[in-house]
Structure 1
């Protein structure tokens, strides 16, 4: 007679279970992504340090593109097995090697260590802020997809032009654009994970690492140019 009706009883149990599983899946993808990303950043820093100490030469723009897209292809092909983790580490290690000679160049400049540390600090701050917005803002940022895709294609094409033309002003403009694009990419990709748009932590790691890498190198170029102008 005095049965109390529970509102949640009207919700099918399989629906409540699915929501809980989706939440757990999101946490698992986020945890695996950040763990693998930390390993990749550490390994990349190690290869960059070795390249600086050994004074290895930069492989060149075209070789860098070939190595990056070749390893990225292998990562994507093995995205659903553990071999993909090995190729992710190979990719990030290679990118660290290509960054080593560039960092070494700026370290040899007056106040070079300050330039490098400022670029690293700025990159870390932007990464934390953009990730925080994506994690805690109850908003869907999927509308940024077409803008980021178009922007990166244009920036890549402009980079090829700058490589052959060697116009400092164009190079600086590209670096500034990359700072904005990579900041947006961190926000977009993290938001995708939160909203279950990206469920593969290997590919999520690659995207966030590339954003961090390009953001750092772009800030390094901008700060380095400012340091030379002083």
Structure 2
């Protein structure tokens, strides 16, 4: 490699590092804003004692908004739809939190779930960033995990099996953890170049992780 080629290679590496840093800043800034907005909507939903929209409306709203975000991810509308999705998820979270907070030790359960969620998210993110390991090999596990969890959720509506809900919650903890590692690694290694999609993926993982940990803690506390 001559001097010019070495200079071009170093320049290209510098540009890539700058792009990755910008993507990280945009992703985590938007993630922080959407988490705050979702928490605000959840608090409003709790204070107004709004009813849960139900499974069908929740699924239609979630996947409909997710599809729209993917379509408009390179425009300002993508940002608007991202806040719409995270706000909607915050609304669905409010009634669930009200149920847990009505329990004798509900406040402690919610606080523990929040703390564990933050610890898992920041721990996994820091590990992926510091080690810079490529976790793209998790894509197969994530796809298989999604299919298995989806089938288990559908089965839970028709078959009453002791411990099935517990297994689903534990599965979602592992699934969400794998997605956090995968998505963070994708940002570092160029597998993801859109901060809106990266934000939505991380937000949904955090949401599922929190709910799953909350349910597991409730079961272990006989609630």
Under TM normalisation by the shorter chain, which class is it? over 0.9
1:95 is the counterpart of 2:89: yes
> Quick one: structure 1 residues 8 and 82, their matched pair in 2 at CA, closer, same or farther if it must change by over 3 Å?
farther
Q: Which of 22, 25, 44 is the aligned partner of 1:28? A: 22
| TM-score (ref. length: structure 1) | 0.93
Residue 198 of structure 1 aligns to a residue in which SS? coil
1:193 is the counterpart of 2:181: no
Residue-pair matches, total: 223
Deviation for aligned residue 1:224: 1.2
1:119 is the counterpart of 2:119: no
Residue 11 of structure 1 aligns to a residue in which SS? helix
Match of 2:220 in 1: 226
Deviation for aligned residue 1:60: 1.1
Residue 134 of structure 2 aligns to a residue in which SS? coil
- Bigger mean CA deviation after superposition, 219-228 or 157-166: 157-166
Deviation for aligned residue 1:13: 2.9
Between Structure 1 and Structure 2, whose CA radius of gyration is higher? 1
Q: Which of 204, 214, 218 is the aligned partner of 2:208? A: 214
Distance 2:211 2:6 in 1: 51
Superposed, which structure 2 residues align to 1:53-68 within 5 Å? 53-68=47-62
Match of 1:149 in 2: 143
Distance 1:138 1:43 in 2: 30
Aligned-pair RMSD on alpha carbons? 1.5
Q: Which of 172, 176, 179 is the aligned partner of 2:170? A: 176
Deviations 1:3-58 (A, max 9, x none): xxxx9826343322211111000000010000000011001101111111111111
> Quick one: structure 1 residues 164 and 67, their matched pair in 2 at CA, closer, same or farther if it must change by over 3 Å?
farther
Residue 197 of structure 1 aligns to a residue in which SS? coil
Runs of at least 5 residues in structure 1 that lack an aligned partner in the other structure: 1-6
Deviation for aligned residue 1:168: 5.3
| TM-score (ref. length: structure 2) | 0.95
1:48 is the counterpart of 2:37: no
1:80 is the counterpart of 2:58: no
Distance 1:216 1:138 in 2: 25
